[in-house]
Amino acid sequence: MSTCTQRVMMTLKEKNVPFELVPVNLMNGEQKKPEFLKKQPFGVIPVLEDDDYLIYESRGICRYLEQKYKDQGSALTPNVTDVKAFGKFEQAASVEIFNYDTCASGIVFEKLFKKMMGLGETDEAKVKQLTEKLEQTLNVYEQILSKQKYLAGNEFTLVDLFHIPYTAHLFKLGFNKQFEARPNVMNWWNACTERQAWQDTLNTKL
């Protein structure tokens, strides 16, 4: 269920890195207990433990894995020496956090996780506002994706991957219409979710 953990799992699978998934029980607040806070002081998952190296923040973990396993599995960022491609990658990465994820994660929280975690009822006015913002972002994505296959250029990168878990939840929650109305966005989405690493992530059992 943890979207941020799915980001990391998909990256591990893209890079062909074996890993062990250690469950943290969010329903009983294990993530806020002192033992866990030693690993993740903000009290959220995921955390990656790589021997004695600890790292948290899903996007940071994915970038770490991409650099550590640069020559293994799929290449998920442009080469830093290609400064123009790298600049475009960072541009799209920033848009993902500020223009996309704020809306997508906000809607999924209101419609799914809020109730699940006993934090109250869905605030429909907030969902409406976030949906409008999401649609504005998707309109720009539709233009970008009419000129290139993926959000940072013609290659699949971490930026595309970062979108996948929350977007998959949006589809399950009935927000597929927002995507299906935009053919270039929909082609991009199909290309992202057809990846073996995503299929394997979905099929991972604890």
Ligand X SMILES: N[C@@H](CCC(=O)N[C@@H](CS)C(=O)NCC(=O)O)C(=O)O
Examine residue 2 and tell whether it contacts ligand X (CB under 6 A): yes
d(CA 6, CA 4): 5
The 3-class SS string of 43-91 reads: CCCCEEEECCEEEECHHHHHHHHHHHCCCCCCCCCCCCCCHHHHHHHHH
Number of residues that bind ligand X (CB under 6 A): 11
Both tokens of 187, joined, read 């082609």
CB of 102 vs ligand X, minimal distance in Å: 12
Examine residue 4 and tell whether it contacts ligand X (CB under 6 A): yes
Burial class (CB in 10 A: 0-12, 13-18, 19+), 141: buried
Cα diameter, the chain = 49
CB of 61 vs ligand X, minimal distance in Å: 7
CB of 183 vs ligand X, minimal distance in Å: 30
Tell the residue number behind the tokens 């605030």, with chain if given.
Answer: 123
Residue placing its CB nearer to ligand X in the complex, 119 or 181: 119
Residue placing its CB nearer to ligand X in the complex, 37 or 83: 37
Tell the residue number behind the tokens 């057809």, with chain if given.
Answer: 194
* Residue of the chain from 17, 26, 55, 191 that contacts ligand X (CB under 6 A): 26
Examine residue 57 and tell whether it contacts ligand X (CB under 6 A): yes
Residue placing its CB nearer to ligand X in the complex, 15 or 59: 59
Examine residue 102 and tell whether it contacts ligand X (CB under 6 A): no
CB of 152 vs ligand X, minimal distance in Å: 19
User: Which residue, among 87, 117, 104, has the nearest Cα to 189 in the 3D structure?
Assistant: 104
CB of 23 vs ligand X, minimal distance in Å: 12
Q: Which residues of this protein are in contact with ligand X, per CB under 6 A? A: 2-4, 26, 31, 43-45, 57-59
